[in-house]
Chain A
């Protein structure tokens, strides 16, 4: 079972995160300050750490993260913060964070990002094949061409990038924010409805007439690419 360390000083937020992650099937340990969290993170093995940027006491989130990385522990860390602007983000990622989520956030966004982080760590192992296969969907990463069964799918560059990202995270919820950041290389903004239009275009091409649906919309959250049952 995936074991998550949640470092959050606000009790109610911590409880909500705890509940949401347990619902998602994670095992959760909570910690209220940077010092305890550091001891726990070094002493036990966690799969991923959710770290609040602002913590009481002498060791704040970034300080704890710096110390953790200095101790040679490479557990992926997702930073939570009310400080959302780009510079803060960059600072957080620079000291060793793997992802950054701005408060207030939706729990589906948090779990989706944690899934992506966990997946990324696994995927880093073996050398990547230059083909991606999800069900009967076949993506050639070198030629950037896509086929579904025998039917070639003609995609615009941006649509291809969307599909590649979805395929890399197949069977995982991918939020609009994640898509926007990965495909457009700009950081999150509220223009989710525009992404919906891009996605519906992509869907029309991928899920043709009479074919089983592969791109599913998760209401209020994002999308998931699943192989047809």
Chain B
């Protein structure tokens, strides 16, 4: 397992995403908490103000003597000075109450706060309201708001500590996410590197949970399957080529060497040269056919597709082969489809494919056989069918006949390079068509069919 360097973590997408959500979450946390704080503090101040105004109302209704007496009693009873109400004379001197001088205030009957230095040296936050009385004195009603302040502080502390906890946990989580993503990607790139180095059987690891990386990995694995199939096919073809081309080359060489050894007459030379040319032509033809299949398999050809009438293709091919069939006494019939049969395709390739099928049918059918070319135009499927009543293709060989250079045992002695049906298969693949071999009882029936949507 690979080692993940710490400084690589911040570059991972997971880490960045986690960081982003952390920032978003932190912001909403702050907003929510701020709102709660603002509401609570406001509520407490409001409650205090209500009590202070009630006090003023009660006091101002009392006659001055009673008020003075009750304030004095209150000052004595309130030893902790939670509500240090004080009465001042017109000159601002305290008459009764613990506060010695009028604190600065913004206006009568308005709530103000100040820090009161008590005679014992302690400072206390005080919320107060000042009210002028009708006898010229000034009443200050006050409330110690130390506990409210403490509560506020508690709230802020909770905010700060909770926030930091959140930040730390979030950062750790993000780093962890980044780390795991990094490690996963490192495993993937390791596998890919191994594949690049040539181990095509290797696959990307998947967790099977269907997440994004898993999905990409399985797509890549699918691609690798296809690649491996192609590679093995290429290797198979190379082996086949090596084998199949060696035979004619050996024949060619043997013929030339024999002529060289027994140089006889002018005529024999001419004969030998002709035979050599024929062999060389055969070789070239095989190469050409192989190249052609390769070119067909390049799906870039799809860009040149046009609307092609399969009926027209079938008719052209049947007409083209008609004299050849007639020469062999074979009845070649063409049945046009009952409905229009247009497909997107390459007319040249479809014609060639149909010709290849017909070529095989004519080649392998006995004299006086019957060959039928039919256009299939049914709802849901469209295509061409070539059927004969010849020997047919044995069940076991129906897959193999589409392999390049494959020649069945029974066809080894007939002319051909084993590429005709491979070419048809390549054309079918290019056109998203299915190529099916059926038993025509007796004979062979090959369907080239495109499934139609709708």
Residues of A within 8 A of B (CB): 84-87, 90, 104, 158, 184, 186-187, 189-191, 193-194, 197-198, 201, 220
Is there an interface contact between B319 and A191, defined as CB atoms closer than 8 Å? Answer: no
Residues of B within 8 A of A (CB): 277, 284-285, 288-289, 291-292, 295, 301, 304, 316, 319-321, 323-324, 327, 346-348, 351-352, 355, 359
The CA-CA distance from A220 to B320 in the complex, in Å, is 21
Closest 8 CB pairs of A and B: A197-B323, A85-B295, A197-B324, A186-B351, A194-B324, A201-B323, A198-B323, A186-B348
**In the assembled complex, which residues on chain A have CB atoms less than 8 Å from the CB atom of B321?**
194
**In the assembled complex, which residues on chain A have CB atoms less than 8 Å from the CB atom of B284?**
104
Task: Indicate whether A84 sits within 8 Å of B291 (C-beta atoms), given known contacts A186-B351, A194-B324, A197-B324.
Answer: yes
The CA-CA distance from A158 to B321 in the complex, in Å, is 12
**In the assembled complex, which residues on chain B have CB atoms less than 8 Å from the CB atom of A201?**
323
Q: From residue B292, how far is it (CB to closest CB) to chain A in Å?
A: 7
Task: Indicate whether A187 sits within 8 Å of B316 (C-beta atoms), given known contacts A85-B295, A194-B321, A197-B324.
Answer: no
Residue of A nearest to B346 (CB): A86
Is there an interface contact between A190 and B323, defined as CB atoms closer than 8 Å? Answer: no
Q: From residue B267, how far is it (CB to closest CB) to chain A in Å?
A: 15
**In the assembled complex, which residues on chain B have CB atoms less than 8 Å from the CB atom of A187?**
348
Is there an interface contact between A87 and B301, defined as CB atoms closer than 8 Å? Answer: yes
The CA-CA distance from A33 to B260 in the complex, in Å, is 39
The CA-CA distance from A90 to B319 in the complex, in Å, is 26
Residue of B nearest to A199 (CB): B323
24 example contacts (A-B, Cβ-Cβ < 8 A) are as follows: A84-B288, A85-B295, A86-B304, A86-B346, A86-B348, A87-B301, A87-B304, A90-B304, A104-B284, A158-B319, A184-B316, A184-B320, A186-B316, A187-B348, A190-B288, A190-B289, A191-B320, A191-B355, A191-B359, A194-B324, A197-B324, A198-B320, A198-B323, A220-B277
Residue of A nearest to B285 (CB): A190
Is there an interface contact between B288 and A197, defined as CB atoms closer than 8 Å? Answer: no
The CA-CA distance from A187 to B295 in the complex, in Å, is 15
**In the assembled complex, which residues on chain B have CB atoms less than 8 Å from the CB atom of A104?**
284
**In the assembled complex, which residues on chain A have CB atoms less than 8 Å from the CB atom of B324?**
193-194, 197
**In the assembled complex, which residues on chain B have CB atoms less than 8 Å from the CB atom of A193?**
324
The CA-CA distance from A87 to B430 in the complex, in Å, is 15
Residue in A85, A90, A104, A187 whose Cβ sees the most chain B Cβ within 10 Å: A85
**In the assembled complex, which residues on chain A have CB atoms less than 8 Å from the CB atom of B351?**
186
Q: From residue B320, how far is it (CB to closest CB) to chain A in Å?
A: 6
Can you add 19 more A-B contacts, CB < 8 Å, to A84-B292, A194-B321? A84-B295, A85-B292, A86-B348, A87-B301, A87-B304, A104-B284, A158-B319, A186-B316, A186-B348, A186-B351, A186-B352, A189-B355, A190-B285, A191-B320, A191-B359, A193-B324, A194-B320, A194-B324, A197-B327
